[in-house]
Structure 1
């Protein structure tokens, strides 16, 4: 097994001056509900009636969850910041005490997590930022030109700085590339060269830091695995029958989970000693498109896989032994599609097309779930979420949300 990437040594030699003009990708509508918002979710043009502006949220007091008895709430929350920026926000990630937002404005903004003061931004000439991933001091961004940029981040005197160190695929990568399909019964001829670049929107990313492999999923139905130490794609395969919408990787086992508009969740694993990946299991509970995935891990290292679908439901699976996952049940509450999911200890946070955010708590022994809160404030579909702890006991945490109403909000949540 490859050792973890030595960032200080490797990042310094990744410098790449690559500039590519934007290309026009193809898109597909998510659903027929709320066409104006959802058209922008998939990138079609939309012009708001008013010009973009930045505004602070009105004062907000602590509120008990409406799903609980008002006299004995177990959770309190309030919106502490709300910003409106120029462009739709497609991706969120947390870097230390900063939260980063990627949008259609071609910029990645860095905000102070509590007060949302701007700390700097990354300017890109490669189009909207559709997906982001952070590990250590590295930021991975996916752009409209179907390429990935890797940035070295740092904070200096309270400001945010980032330097681009690599673009994938590299120019030299197009000269020679060997790809082996891992889809059963549909393998490509050995040594058949194909282009390493995605042919449509890169919708999601996951970084397996144990082996320094970056996974990317695309609307072109393929998954690509990028080995950072050699700066190239080591495997590429057709994974689903429709758009790939999200992916997560289990850092303990190396299992990669992907979901698609074809209504399935799939589990993959890299073959030991090789670059190719094999399909381990298909989770197919219904035929509704699946838009979001999240992976939770208990103190006993048992994992819980959550998927959000277009019917507003969240299905979850409980790991029993190694590759064996049992369907644990369904979380119901959202009225429309679940577009994003994050986990925090035994908490699950979901954002929906119905403009709400729900917080769920998993019982640590029986694995049942209860709805703790419904966070309301957005006026459009909640496109992406992130969360960070404020204490080690998971009694206070922050939730970051971005909606297709072009607002970014920060919520402070306290468990009582």
Structure 2
């Protein structure tokens, strides 16, 4: 039997069966200090006939760049592209920011924007009402150009009884297979196949063909809420659920359908976040027990690489860029990890500054040649912090 899905610390972005305790807050920026060799400055200068050699100076691995804040509610979703940041909250407004200033905003009919994905000139937003809305920019103004599924698609499908299927996460209820019966919890885009994946608390993930905005498949993936979906390379997609499982689905080229390839993880703690890093070479999953599991992908097979432990409370979000992976937590911190030599990971920094749980993360290149990344973190403290990593 599926377990009751509970909300964690007023965090409606995912469902979990685990309970947690509160952690002490900190407004200070903290870094893990790396070990260093003994400094020559510790030696008496009178023992040297020549001036002391200059110590090599290395910049800190991360620094707080600034804070964005609006009094509209919790920050639930983020997406960044080409220096433009999109923020979604539990209000009906979606805001855009550029150069640390508000650039524009647009309003949707349903509040609680739980997921944002950018693809080309289109922005996709997932909502509490189970729908996905499509936006684009016209003359500098964001306009809604569609909804998934569309009104006409719903009307057409509702005329055929066979289009109604049982909802796994809600027994004794049937719904149209092309429409989510509960909140959209996560979105992921596969650019190579032109497919958008949406995960929902109704226990399914759905596959949308962007070319014609059509739902081409609905997969009953888990017996409990699906909290995260992440598209990999070669037609592979990963799902994580409140039932504690991480599953791998592979799209069959001939039939165009997704089949269960493997279950990577089964545990008592809910899976709350997923990320694919290293250009598809590694998969990360965050859990309500504060752990981050990861698997190495080699020749289409996955091997468990280990567990990253840096949080005292639930991991609520993950983001990967280059050799870095970042984990945001209910303990109000963000851990920055670097993948070295395959499976080895080094924790470079712990970013502390939020006074509420960290709900969402977004990463983009900082624009220079120095290997820096611009990291955005959204929190229940109603703010977005901008970091240079």
TM-score band w.r.t. shorter chain: 0.7 to 0.9
| 2:328/2:359 contact within 8 Å kept | yes
2:128 to 129, 138, 144: 144
| 1:74/1:372 contact within 8 Å kept | no
| 2:14/2:272 contact within 8 Å kept | no
Match status 1:331 vs 2:308 = yes
Task: Tell me the CA shift for residue 73 of structure 1.
Answer: 6.1
Matched residue pairs, number? 343
Structure 2 runs not aligned, ≥5 long: 16-26, 40-56, 166-173
Match status 1:66 vs 2:28 = no
The alignment partner of 1:173 has SS state of helix
Task: Tell me the CA shift for residue 30 of structure 1.
Answer: 3.4
If asked which structure has higher relative contact order (CA below 8 Å, sep 6+), I would say 2
CA–CA separation in structure 1 for the residues paired with 2:242 and 2:115:
17
CA shift in 2, pair 1:241/1:392, >3 Å: farther
CA deviations on 1:61-100 (whole Å, 9 max, x unpaired) are xx77234248876634322221332111110000211110
1:346 to 299, 307, 323: 323
Match status 1:78 vs 2:63 = yes
Structure 1 runs not aligned, ≥5 long: 1-26, 44-57, 182-191
CA–CA separation in structure 2 for the residues paired with 1:193 and 1:384:
30
CA–CA separation in structure 1 for the residues paired with 2:206 and 2:108:
23
Match status 1:29 vs 2:9 = no
The structure in which a higher percent of residues are strand is 2
Which residue of structure 2 lines up, in the alignment, with residue 311 of structure 1? Answer: 289
CA–CA separation in structure 2 for the residues paired with 1:309 and 1:64:
23
Q: Which moved more, 1:275-284 or 1:370-379?
A: 275-284
The alignment partner of 2:219 has SS state of strand
Which residue of structure 2 lines up, in the alignment, with residue 98 of structure 1? Answer: 84
CA–CA separation in structure 1 for the residues paired with 2:211 and 2:33:
49
CA deviations on 1:234-253 (whole Å, 9 max, x unpaired) are 11121012111111111x31
2:243 to 255, 262, 265: 262
Which residue of structure 2 lines up, in the alignment, with residue 15 of structure 1? Answer: none
CA–CA separation in structure 1 for the residues paired with 2:35 and 2:163:
57
Match status 1:375 vs 2:351 = yes
Normalised to the residue count of structure 2, the TM-score between the two structures is 0.81
Match status 1:359 vs 2:342 = no
Larger radius of gyration between Structure 1 and Structure 2: 2
Normalised to the residue count of structure 1, the TM-score between the two structures is 0.76
Task: Tell me the CA shift for residue 195 of structure 1.
Answer: 4.2
The alignment partner of 2:249 has SS state of strand
Which residue of structure 1 lines up, in the alignment, with residue 144 of structure 2? Answer: 164
CA–CA separation in structure 2 for the residues paired with 1:28 and 1:386:
26
Which residue of structure 2 lines up, in the alignment, with residue 402 of structure 1? Answer: 378
CA deviations on 1:117-157 (whole Å, 9 max, x unpaired) are 01101111222211111111110011232111111136x6x
1:279 to 243, 251, 260: 260
Task: Tell me the CA shift for residue 180 of structure 1.
Answer: 11
Which residue of structure 2 lines up, in the alignment, with residue 236 of structure 1? Answer: 218
Task: Tell me the CA shift for residue 361 of structure 1.
Answer: 0.6
